[in-house]
Amino acid sequence: MELIKLSPTEFKKVAKLIYERTGIHLPEAKCTLLSNRLRRRLRALKLDSFASYYELLLNDAKCSAELPHFLSAVTTNETYFFRNERLWDFFREQWIPEIVEQKKGKTRSIQIWSAASSSGEEAYTAAICLKEKLPDFASWRVSVMGSDISQDMLDRANAGIYNDYAVAKIPQATRRKWFDERDGHFVLKPSIKSMVSFKFHNLRDTFATSRIDLAFLRNVLMYFDLEMKKRVLVNVSKSIAPGGRLIVGDVDPIRNTPALQDVLGMAPSGLNQYQKPGGPDVCTRPMATMSKGN
């Protein structure tokens, strides 16, 4: 197929559809990137133009089968285990002891949400850390949830099978403990895999629970315009329990945007993190600077 490119008019139509379905704002500078990604779908469907593909997306009878592929094509999913070493040092050495202290005299339960979880590395990293560091683990009810709008990413996450790039940052001893190596791939062991569940969720909508102790919202706000950022933050804040935490990425638009701080309704509690009022403020030490990537 000739390397056709979205025309300016076609780009505006498709970008508008992406915004309506996902909340992701694509500037015109992304036209070439979007053309390259959607061109793969044209080949798969044996279509000869972006106009034909756009018409398919507008057809209710045909769109349901294509929509998961469309969403996977327009979202960014680059990630790996233990991404941002200092974050996971904080999680293991500070947050876990403090959540244990916070739960004293209460039901021993922990709920963690990895929003925009991609292929599951962040959610599974949290599970590994909890398995290794949570005292008397068997006495706790632990739930780690990952959510994404890409069914392809959710399928990969549920499979729990990763390449060498995804596990490159995991120490060898940890890798051997929690993964089986098969045919050049790394397969999560059931003891970790069973701790994590994945579901489809669009951040434009309210999440299913309001009892999250810690939510990750990294590397995603940058894709939204201001109004969509506000809508997403309102939804995320609703899901977090009093005293719960939100961790965002290094590209954090909240801190310097009063309108976002207002709708979030959570106070900064360290670099890249916020705490919801109403619970015990046990996390008193600031998280170390996380400058080695999100």
- Residue ranges and CATH numbers for the domains of the chain are 8-74 (1.10.155.10), 85-275 (3.40.50.150)
More confident position, 267 or 67? 267
- pLDDT for position 215: 98
- pLDDT for position 2: 54
Residue 102: Cβ within 10 Å count: 19
Beta bridge partner(s), residue 114: 146, 216
Let me know how long the chain is.
Answer: 294
In angstroms, the CA 57 to CA 42 distance is 12
Is residue 281 pLDDT above 60, yes or no? no
Strand pairing category for 273-275 and 267-268? antiparallel
**135-159: b or e for each residue (b if 16 or more CB lie within 10 Å)?**
eeeeebebbbbbbbbbebbbebbbe
More confident position, 3 or 98? 98
Say how many Å lie between the first and final Cα of the chain, rounded.
Answer: 37
- pLDDT for position 73: 79
Calculate what percentage of the chain has a pLDDT beyond 90.
65
* Average pLDDT of the residues in 54-77: 81
3-state secondary structure of 162: strand
Strand pairing category for 196-200 and 179-182? unpaired
Which helix (H) or strand (E) segment holds residue 19: the answer is: helix 8-22
Instruction: Supply the DSSP symbol for 209.
Output: -
Residues 6+ apart with CB under 8 A from 209: 111, 113, 239
Phi, psi at 77, each rounded to 5°: -130, 25
Please report the DSSP string for 19-84 in residue order: HHHH-B---GGGHHHHHHHHHHHHHHHT-S-HHHHHHHHH-HHHHHHHHHHHHHHHS-----TT-S
Is residue 283 pLDDT above 50, yes or no? no
* Average pLDDT of the residues in 261-271: 90
Is residue 216 pLDDT above 80, yes or no? yes
The answer to whether residues 24 and 76 touch, using CB atoms and an 8 Å cutoff, is no
Pick from 223, 288, 283: nearest CA to 253: 223
* Average pLDDT of the residues in 75-96: 89
- pLDDT for position 77: 65
In angstroms, the CA 157 to CA 124 distance is 9
Residue 19: Cβ within 10 Å count: 16
- pLDDT for position 282: 46
Cα dihedral across residues 267, 270, 274, 278: positive or negative: negative
* Average pLDDT of the residues in 253-261: 91
More confident position, 271 or 201? 201
